[in-house]
Every structure is written in C-alpha cells, then in structure tokens.
Structure 1
Amino acid sequence: MQPADPAVRAALEAVLMVVDEPISAAELAATLEVPQQDAEDALEELAAEYARQGRGFELRAVAGGWRFYSRPEYADIVSRYVLEGQTARLTQAALETLAVIAYRQPVGRSRVAAIRGVNVDSVVKTLVTRGLVEEAGTDPESGAILYRTTSYFLERLGIGSVAELPKLSPHLPGLDELGGIDAPF
C-alpha cells in the first residue's frame, strides 16, 4: 500500500479537529473531494501514526465514523481540567446579571442592561455557555430574545424552583417607598 497523500492527511486532520461527533469516511472523502478509499487509507495511517507516537489523543473509528479522543491513560487529567472549568467562579458582573435574570425571568438583554446600567451581551453569552441560562422565546412587542434560568442553575443552587430564591425586599432599604415598581421583590 502506498502512503497517503500528505495534503489529504492534513485536510482530514483539519476537518476532524472541528467535528463534535464521529464523521464517516464517505463524508470525509466527499468533503475533501477524494476517493473514499484514499480517505480510509489516510485515516488508518493517521490512527496508527498517533498510536506509535504516543500522542495525548487518538483517532478512533466509532459509531460508523472517525473522531479524535483523548487517550484513556490521560482520563484523570482531562477530567480534572473539565471539572475545574465547570466549577470556575463567576465574575461579579456574571453574578449580578444572573441575579437579574433569575428574579425577572423571562427577561431580555436590554432590560437586564437597563437594570445593571452596563452592556450585558458577553456576560449573557457566558451564562448561556455555562448552562446557567437559556433562551425562553421572544418578547411579543420587541421581538427580543428572552432569557430564563435553567434546571442546572437550580441544581447548582440546591433549590427546586426560582420560587425558593430568597426574597430581596428585606435586604433593600426603603423599598416600601418604591411601591409602584413592577418587580416582585
């Protein structure tokens, strides 16, 4: 068997770096516009090469497709990294934004920004990425995307629903003078 074309191997690596589920050799061949046998040969070569080199990752054929995976002997290290990333502390801005969403949900970014007095676009994206808030439809008047907290948020706080969040009114001085405000504090 003749070694696979280095350009095909490199292109396969580039595509495999961005897939989030196994991709078949046929799909890879179609994407690269090469014969399927050439893609299969290159995939086999890459998998064998990574194994020989003892890389921290391996190329596996699973579920009818190919994908990169971390090597089993590094599972503890990878798990530690992933878990630490998930438990990283939120910034003050993220905590404030999360509190506004939790108490005012469903709420749009512009309303959260008005309450906080700063742009919250990137903070909301971070909260969505971390799974603490999610889209909850659109505002019928403005068409803005509304956000609400997730079940993961409730789980992390150890509560069953947002109704169990502490009432804010005892912690806000002079709230009785603000009787006309539309928030259920």
Structure 2
Amino acid sequence: MGPTVNGQQNINPALEEAESSHLVSHEDYLGAIEAVLMVAEEPVTPAELAAAVNLPQHQVQVLLDELRAEADGVDENWPGDKPPGRQRGFELREVAGGWRYYSRLRYADQVSAFILGGQTSRLSPAALETLAVIAYRQPVARSAVAAIRGVNVDGVVRTLVQRGLLDTAGTDPVTGATLYTTTAEFLERLGLDSLEDLPKLSPHLPGVEDLDETETSA
C-alpha cells in the first residue's frame, strides 16, 4: 500500500474514486494493466482494460499515460519526484483504437535478426504500391488502382485481403465494382491510431488526382 499521512493512507488522486471492492496500491494497478497488455495479441481498448482492473476509463487513461512515459524514460514527476528513467527497448502505443506494447523502432534490425534469422518477410513492391493507393484513396475499385499502377492488380488485391490488410466495402453505386478499404490490421501493423495519421505521401502517387475520372469511366 502507499505511504501514510497522519495515520491515513495517501491514495493517488487518479485512483481516489476507484470502483473496487477493495483498495490496492497505485503500483498494483499499473502492474495489472501492464500484465494485460503484455499478453495481448492485438490492441486493447481502454474499456476492456477498465473492465479487467475494475477502474473507470478516465483513471485507466491516466495509468496508460504513466506507463507510456515510463517506457519512454520520461520524468513526469507524478505520482512523486522520480529521476528520469532509461528508455526501454519497448514502447506503449495507442493504435487502432486500443493500446499495445511494441518493440522500439530503433531496434527493428536486431529484432528482425532474432525472429527471422536474417531473412525478411515483407510485402512485394507491387503489393506495397497497391496498398498505398488504396490507403490514400479508399474506398476504391481495383480498376482505379490498376489505372494508376498501369498493371492488373487482381492477384495482389486478393493477397492483401488474405493477409488481413484489405477488406471489401460494398460496391460502387454507378459501376457495380467492388470497393476496397484498409483494415484495423493495417493500422496495427503500421502502428497508427487512424487513417488521419498516415504520412502525407499523396504527392508521391503519380496520377492520384485522376482517380475520380478513372472510377467514373470504369
């Protein structure tokens, strides 16, 4: 439990209204959330974390911010005066509407060497180009993507769907062509919270400004 003042326990302000049958220390709440995130295979929402540790979401958010700062080695001076810590080899990111631990990007080469044994498992240039066009122009039909790339993209799109990076989103009301969008898995793989966080790469996609005309004539 935390330190006492005048014989009473000093509870952290972020936890003073905890809806729990019994009080635990601030460190215990941090540890519980950390443990859940460590075993999660996909981003965990604040609501899911709140249910797991029996705390209101706004208090869980405070704890998440502290865990993120701790992993980054940032001195938040809360809940007490603490010296700056070492930046950890992992980081806590808010992605795809939830939170998840990731290895830090600066150590990507070392992590890849350990997991892949020096080999790479990446999307082909054709798949990356197709994915980029769809990410920036979704929902979009295959014919429009093919018009930009100058090649048939049917096989590439099927592969991206199978890998969970793309999904269908109905049909074009004019042409009847199937429309494609990126998925939450796509955001998670890129470590993004929403499509608004995509880098501003549109100027590097030749012909993207002609997509509307292409889709209309498809």
Larger radius of gyration: 1
In the superposition, the TM-score normalised over structure 2's length comes to 0.39
Task: Name the one with the larger helix percent.
Answer: 1
TM-score (structure 1 length as normaliser): 0.46
Higher relative contact order (CA 8 A, sep 6+): 2
